[in-house]
């Protein structure tokens, strides 16, 4: 077995929007860049298979003000206007570059002006792949990272992984690393998200980084039952029904999804997009061809026929929690380590709520650009020879069991265990302190067991690491959720239904064997409206 | 889930093997891809989108359909206009208009929605 062994200035881990923006900007800053993706850069992740709105707002003061104000209340006043402003600036620049440099075919609105506030995932990401390669980035597809490497000072100095199509391990030593591995959707089957298992958060925590906003992690999206295409926005045209055909009162895609979750615990829920007129129907087809793939292939007319729906967990993909960033350059508490996209917390621009898309897409462009540039700068600031400094592997769970290794397919049991605690609506969506305590106890036991025994070989190492990452993610989520004894943003608690002004702060969490939390005051507090 | 690889249409270009984000395919001995890890298919339709000869069919449901012959009946899928339909809809393939050019979404019935909405939100 041969081992691919590379040295580079910047290693970008991930292959979605944030990773490609990071790689592009690092390369343009003069760095040698390697991008390692678990899947295939261009098709991997939550964006590539979907369509996404983008928080693209022209620099007109009134429009910017409205954009910043629009979701502050939804997000529980945890966002930061300074960050919002810089993301709006960076996104405007980035999307315009997509149009002008990458020649993305944006449509024109009825007024003839280009509409640049939405992207088709497949087109966007195939162009980003081309841009990255043109910039000289070395792309390693099907090369999931297994763990980070750190130097003797604790700074991140590269990573090792497994090239699953070549069947061999690899190593990349680097001056700096950008984690752009996406959020964690717990293998729920939400569109494109099965590569998003929270690996980056595990790698970061093992290197000593912190997380923030992990209580904002219970996003669920609507999809036809037994299918993958989540497109919740279009369900604003829906009427929802009980199994017996009567209207499910209070159910809605926005502001009434918990009603659907509650009903789904008892019965099937049906839906019909009967509030879309002919014009809207035609526009939906043009806007989102993949939304209709499911219906066309099932032989359902969603505008006239009722169809059963489900809610698919999207965890921190459409939540806002992730690796805590400590500076404008998306640095973390660990030297040499940067975080971007859904792997990083998005609280800075949307507090405790995103509807996905829009803000997350803007964040990916912006945080990716900043992290890439900063990583290049960091790498070039290191003394000569730093790229080949002595390193030690930082990984633990799933790689180096502390006890007697268990069966080679032990990851299956771990995945089932964590899914049993995070997918059910009654545990994660409709959160209550009692349920969170019970779930956390199970998850803590699972972690202890897997830390002692979880082990796999060859390509299955990746599956073991994914399983460990999901358990770690779930524990941070529920620990943070228990700490937030109120309802704010998407972190709603049945036992604490009101927002508590005394808890108007962020919750930072971290740790692996022992999970901890602490409160972080807001740097520039948004005005909280007493309710 | 991916259900059909048409050996008839396949030109053994390896594209699906390469682009599948969850590594479902292996190259078969005759060059036609094998569904080695169908259970890992996440029903994202990327293989179909990238197949230059419309040789693949991804059924919309996220579990395998061993008893449903229709999802692997090439003639039936072709007659129903389903083979290659995703590529057609997104405008990939020679001579087609890229779908993003026409992607002007509906006015979502949300308060205060002024301009036409973006192609998509979440």
Q: What is the pLDDT of residues A172-190, one digit of tens each?
A: 999 999 999 999 999 999 9
Whether residue A236 and residue B101 make contact (CB cut-off 8 A), yes or no, is no
Total count of residues recorded for chain A: 531
Is B93 within a domain? yes
CA A42 to chain centre: 16
> Looking at the predicted structure, is the pLDDT value of residue B121 above 50?
no
Q: Which of B18, B119, B121 sits opposite A120 (nearest CB)?
A: B119
Q: Which of A115, A191, A355 sits opposite B44 (nearest CB)?
A: A191
Question: Which CATH class name applies to A410-503?
Answer: mainly alpha
Whether residue B122 and residue A358 make contact (CB cut-off 8 A), yes or no, is yes
Fold classification of A4-217+316-393 is FAD/NAD(P)-binding domain (3.50.50)
The pLDDT assigned to A524 comes to: 63
Residue A367's contacts (CB-CB under 8 Å, 6 or more residues apart) are A18, A87, A325, A330, A339, A340, A341, A344
Q: Which of A39, A289, A293 sits opposite B21 (nearest CB)?
A: A39
- Give B-chain residues touching A223 at CB under 8 angstroms: none
Helix A358-381 to helix A81-100 angle, to the nearest 10 degrees?
A: 90
Whether residue B21 and residue A318 make contact (CB cut-off 8 A), yes or no, is no
Number of domains in chain B: 1
Q: CATH code at B84? A: 3.30.70.20
Is B120 within a domain? no
* Structure confidence at residue A354 as a pLDDT band (50, 70, 90): confident
**Using CA atoms, how far apart are residues B105 and A79, in angstroms rounded to an integer?**
28
Q: How far is B60 from chain A (nearest CA, A)?
A: 5
Whether residue A233 and residue B22 make contact (CB cut-off 8 A), yes or no, is no
Is B108 within a domain? no
Residue A483 to residues A424, A432, A469, A474, A519: CA-CA distances in angstroms? 21, 12, 21, 14, 9
Residue B35 to residues A236, A388, A412, B23, B56: CA-CA distances in angstroms? 37, 40, 21, 10, 11
> Looking at the predicted structure, is the pLDDT value of residue B44 above 70?
yes
Which tokens belong to A343? 């792997």
Residue A449's contacts (CB-CB under 8 Å, 6 or more residues apart) are none
Q: What is the pLDDT of residues A20-78, one digit of tens each?
A: 999 999 999 999 999 999 999 999 999 999 999 999 999 999 999 999 998 899 999 99
Whether residue B89 and residue A52 make contact (CB cut-off 8 A), yes or no, is no
The pLDDT assigned to B108 comes to: 72
Domain ranges of chain A: 4-217+316-393, 221-313, 410-503
Is B118 within a domain? no
Is B121 within a domain? no
Whether residue A122 and residue B63 make contact (CB cut-off 8 A), yes or no, is no
Q: How far is B54 from chain A (nearest CA, A)?
A: 15
Q: Which of B99, B102, B120 sits opposite A53 (nearest CB)?
A: B120
Size of interface A-B (CB pairs under 8 A): 200
- CATH architecture, domain A221-313: Alpha-Beta Complex (3.90)
User: Which residue is closest to B23 within chain A, CA to CA?
Assistant: A39
Nearest-CA neighbor of A14 among A464, A251, A367?
A: A367
Alpha-carbon dihedral sign for residues A112, A97, A72, A314: positive
* Structure confidence at residue A466 as a pLDDT band (50, 70, 90): very high
Hey, which residues does A10 pair with through a beta bridge? A33, A176
Whether residue B45 and residue A293 make contact (CB cut-off 8 A), yes or no, is yes
Whether residue A191 and residue B101 make contact (CB cut-off 8 A), yes or no, is no
Helix A358-381 to helix A17-28 angle, to the nearest 10 degrees?
A: 30
- Residue given tokens 């020649």 in the structure block: A103
Residue A162 to residues A38, A215, A382, B16: CA-CA distances in angstroms? 9, 32, 27, 20
Is B114 within a domain? no
Is B113 within a domain? no
Q: Which of A48, A237, A289 sits opposite B89 (nearest CB)?
A: A289
Which tokens belong to A442? 């199970």
* Structure confidence at residue A82 as a pLDDT band (50, 70, 90): very high
- Give A-chain residues touching B60 at CB under 8 angstroms: 224, 227-229, 293-294, 297-298
């Amino acid at each position: 077995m041969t081992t691919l062994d590379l040295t580079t200035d910047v290693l970008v881990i991930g292959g979605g929007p944030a990773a490609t923006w990071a790689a592009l900007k690092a390369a343009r800053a003069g760095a040698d860049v390697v991008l390692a993706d678990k899947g295939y850069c261009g098709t991997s992740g939550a964006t590539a298979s979907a369509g996404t709105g983008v928080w693209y707002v022209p620099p007109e003061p009134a429009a910017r003000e409205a954009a910043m104000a629009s979701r502050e209340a939804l997000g529980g006043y945890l966002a930061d206007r300074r960050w919002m402003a810089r993301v709006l600036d960076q996104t405007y620049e980035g999307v315009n570059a997509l149009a002008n440099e990458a020649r993305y075919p944006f449509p024109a609105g009825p007024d003839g002006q280009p509409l640049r506030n939405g992207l088709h995932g497949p087109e966007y990401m195939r162009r980003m792949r081309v841009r990255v390669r043109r910039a000289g980035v070395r792309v390693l597809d099907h090369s999931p990272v297994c763990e980070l490497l750190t130097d003797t000072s604790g700074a991140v100095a590269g990573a090792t992984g497994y090239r699953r199509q070549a069947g061999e391990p690899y190593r990349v030593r680097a001056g700096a690393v950008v984690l752009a591995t996406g959020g964690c959707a717990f293998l729920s089957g939400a569109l494109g998200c099965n590569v998003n298992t929270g690996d980056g958060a595990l790698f970061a925590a093992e290197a000593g980084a912190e997380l923030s906003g992990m209580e904002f992690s219970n996003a669920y999206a609507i999809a036809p039952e037994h299918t993958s295409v989540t497109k919740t926005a279009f369900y604003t045209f829906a009427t929802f029904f009980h199994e017996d055909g009567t209207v499910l009162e209070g159910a809605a895609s926005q502001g009434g999804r918990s009603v659907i979750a509650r009903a789904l615990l008892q019965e099937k829920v049906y839906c019909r997009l009967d509030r879309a007129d002919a014009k809207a129907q035609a526009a939906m087809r043009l806007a989102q061809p993949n939304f209709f793939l499911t219906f066309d292939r099932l032989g359902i007319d969603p505008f006239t026929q009722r169809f059963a729906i489900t809610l698919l967990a999207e965890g921190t993909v459409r939540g806002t929690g992730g690796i805590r960033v400590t500076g404008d350059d998306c640095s973390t508490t660990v030297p040499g380590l940067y975080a971007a996209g859904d792997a990083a917390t998005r609280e800075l621009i949307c507090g405790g709520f995103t509807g996905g898309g829009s803000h997350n897409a803007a964040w990916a462009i912006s945080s990716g650009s900043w992290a890439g540039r900063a990583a290049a700068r960091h790498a070039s600031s290191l003394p000569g020879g730093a790229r080949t400094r002595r390193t030690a592997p930082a990984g633990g769970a799933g790689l180096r069991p502390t006890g007697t290794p268990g069966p080679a397919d032990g990851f299956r049991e771990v995945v089932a265990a964590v899914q049993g605690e995070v997918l059910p609506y009654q545990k994660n969506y409709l959160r209550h302190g009692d349920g969170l305590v019970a779930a956390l106890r199970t998850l803590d036991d699972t972690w202890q067991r897997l830390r002692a025994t979880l082990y796999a070989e060859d390509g299955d190492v990746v599956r073991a690491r994914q399983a460990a990452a999901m358990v770690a993610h779930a524990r941070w989520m529920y620990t943070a959720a228990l700490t937030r004894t109120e309802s704010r943003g998407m972190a709603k608690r049945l036992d604490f239904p009101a927002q508590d002004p005394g808890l108007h702060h962020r919750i930072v969490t971290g740790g692996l064997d022992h999970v901890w939390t602490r409160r972080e005051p807001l740097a520039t507090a948004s005005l909280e409206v007493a309710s | 889930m991916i259900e059909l690889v048409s050996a008839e249409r396949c030109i053994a270009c390896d594209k699906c093997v390469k682009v599948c984000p969850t590594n479902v395919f292996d190259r078969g001995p005759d060059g036609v891809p094998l569904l080695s890890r169908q259970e890992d298919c996440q029903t994202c339709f990327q293989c179909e989108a990238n197949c230059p000869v419309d040789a693949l069919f991804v059924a919309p449901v996220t579990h395998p359909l061993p008893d449903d012959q229709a999802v692997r009946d090439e003639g039936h899928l072709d007659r129903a206009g389903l083979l290659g339909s995703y590529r057609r809809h997104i405008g990939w393939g020679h001579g087609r208009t890229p779908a993003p050019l026409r992607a002007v979404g509906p006015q979502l019935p949300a308060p205060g929605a002024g301009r036409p909405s973006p192609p998509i939100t979440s």
